[in-house]
Amino acid sequence: MKRYLTALAALLLCAQAPAPQPEPPRQVQLTVLQAAQLLITNERLVEAKTLLDRYIAANPDDSQGQFLRGMVAVAEKDYDTAIQLFRRILVREPDAERVRLELGRAFFLQKDYDNADRQFRFARAGNIGDPVKVNIDQYLGAINALREWTFRFAFAFAPDTNQNAATATSQIDIFGIPFLLDKSARRQSGIGLSGEIGGEWSPLLDDNIKARIGAELARTEYSGGDFDDMTLSAYVGPQFLFSNWNLSVLASGFERWYGNQSYVSGLGGRVAAEYGIASDLMLGVSFGGQAVSNSFIPEQNGPLFSTQFQGTYVLSPSSLLQLQAGFSRQDARIAPYSYDGISLGIGYQQDLPWGFTATFQPSYTMARYDAMLPAFGKTRSDDAMMLAVSFLNRRWDYHGFTPRFSYVFTEQHSNIALYSYSRSQFQIGVTSLF
């Protein structure tokens, strides 16, 4: 009996013992950015946007906050806001490849394929994995097929130390007799306005065939109009698309006016190929020929043949290098105006902190003529060096335009003094290409 009482007491004690309580849930403290990231992951975009807007207002230079806010804008298809935010980050951190990648995607979704192409290539040159590069290559291939409209615009005030590209020499010898040059034939300085506008329409005609129709108008205007210079050029033809390259066969023509009078024109065609559509290295080559007509000097009329080569290598998410080379042959009506020409150039571009982009482009050209000019008793030979430097600031972006300053120095030496000159050109304006 005692044994049973002991067992019963044990059961009663067990019944009276409190049941084990569940552990209270642990509280996890999230930062504002972590909370915003969690909201974005769960597609609660309105709440994420409200939280991030408050955070950015208190921390206007926080890159992570701006990046997340940009991602919300992309998800809401507010591409203008996303592009503005991503560009603000790149002003401070030009080597941020993840930001370049998302900026390229925002441009792609906005169908601004030129800027998308540029940003994807910069991102591809960064420290990213192979799967990401494959994804970028797919975007670049799609851009090659989908890009239908290309537009460019630039406008600037243009001070010029030699607006007529003329010699500073006041006296030359013609047939061995010294002559004083008229003032209008000598070097003159001035301030002008320079503008350039161009574009291309390239609709997809078939799976791997596009049409290319493009035109460009460039004009520099000076006081009085005697040295105004304007060129209109256009081209049309098919482009054949392949996996990593394309081929264009184009009819082309141009007309140039100088002093508001018809000066020189040409009509012909060219074949151009580009390789490296999805790559850090892009190569291009073209072959062309035009029948050139000169209204001022008819003896210069004749076919002009040219070959151009260009290579572009994206060095990093913020820099690229370009090499250019060309050869031309003019068969003029008379031998003293016929010549062979060679051009060589290199260009380096670097995105800098504070939103600046610097471009440095030295180049060299030479022309060797076939026969002596009787008036000067010499066979003309020209060598020219040119240095172009430009700065723009991506920080100031107004509807796709940014301010730019450029300086071009040209020094041409000729064995005939009339064709030797030096020139400094300045341009202060805006551009849509950045």
Find tokens 């600046």 and name the residue: 356
Q: What is the CATH code of the structural domain delimited by 149-202+276-284+296-431?
A: 2.40.160
One-letter amino acid at 57 equals A
149: helix, strand or coil:
strand
pLDDT (0 to 100) of residue 291: 97
Query: According to the model, what pLDDT value does residue 28 have?
Result: 60
Place of tokens 């440095």: 360
Among the listed residues 71, 86, 79, the one whose alpha carbon sits nearest the alpha carbon of residue 40 = 71
* Contact (Cβ atoms closer than 8 angstroms) between residue 76 and residue 53: no
Residue 218, CA distances (Å) to 29, 196, 228 in order: 60, 4, 11
0.85 exceeded by the pTM? no
Sorted by sequence, the CB contacts under 8 Å of residue 233 that are 6+ apart come out as 215, 216, 252, 253, 254, 255
Does residue 294 contact residue 255 with C-beta atoms inside 8 Å?
A: no
pLDDT at 394: 76
How far is CA 370 from each of CA 46, 253, 352, 364, rounded to the nearest angstrom? Answer: 73, 26, 47, 20
Query: Residue 5 region, left (φ>0) first, then alpha (ψ -120 to 50), else beta?
Result: alpha
Nearest to 240 by CA among 213, 214, 210: 210
> Other CB atoms closer than 10 Å to residue 68's CB: what's the count?
24
Cα–Cα distances (Å) from 131 to 109, 124, 135, 282, in that order, read: 21, 11, 6, 21
Q: What residue segments make up the domains of the chain, in order of their start?
A: 32-146, 149-202+276-284+296-431
Please name which of 349, 344, 342, 287 lies closest in space to residue 312, comparing C-alpha atoms. Answer: 349
Q: Between vectors from CA 96 to CA 91 and to CA 97, what angle results, nearest 5°?
A: 130
Residue 277 CB coordination number (10 Å): 19
Beta strand extents in 183-317 (DSSP E only)? 190-201, 204-206, 209-222, 229-241, 245-258, 261-275, 281-294, 302-316
Q: According to the model, what pLDDT value does residue 18 have?
A: 52
CB contact at 8 A, 87 and 100: no
Residues 6+ apart with CB under 8 A from 205: 211, 238
DSSP per-residue string spanning 301-349: -EEEEEEEEEEEEEEETTEEEEEEEEEEEE--SSGGG-EEEEEEEEEEE
**What integer pLDDT is reported at residue 188 of this predicted model?**
84
Which superfamily does 32-146 belong to? Tetratricopeptide repeat domain (1.25.40.10)
Q: Which residues on adjacent β-strands are paired with residue 414?
A: 382
Residues 6+ apart with CB under 8 A from 43: 75
Q: What does each of the 434 residues of the chain score in pLDDT, given as a tens digit?
A: 333 333 333 433 344 445 555 655 555 677 888 888 888 888 898 998 899 989 999 998 899 999 999 999 999 999 999 999 999 999 888 999 999 999 999 999 999 998 899 999 999 998 888 899 999 999 998 998 888 988 889 999 999 998 888 787 777 777 667 767 667 677 888 899 999 999 999 999 988 999 999 999 999 998 888 889 999 999 999 999 998 899 999 999 999 999 899 999 999 999 999 998 877 899 999 999 999 999 999 999 999 999 999 999 999 999 999 999 999 999 999 999 999 999 999 999 999 888 889 999 999 999 999 999 998 899 999 999 999 999 988 777 777 788 999 999 999 999 998 899 999 999 999 887 65
Q: What are the beta bridge partners of residue 234?
A: 215, 253
pLDDT score for 2? 38
Burial bucket for residue 390 (CB in 10 Å: 0-12, 13-18, 19+): middle
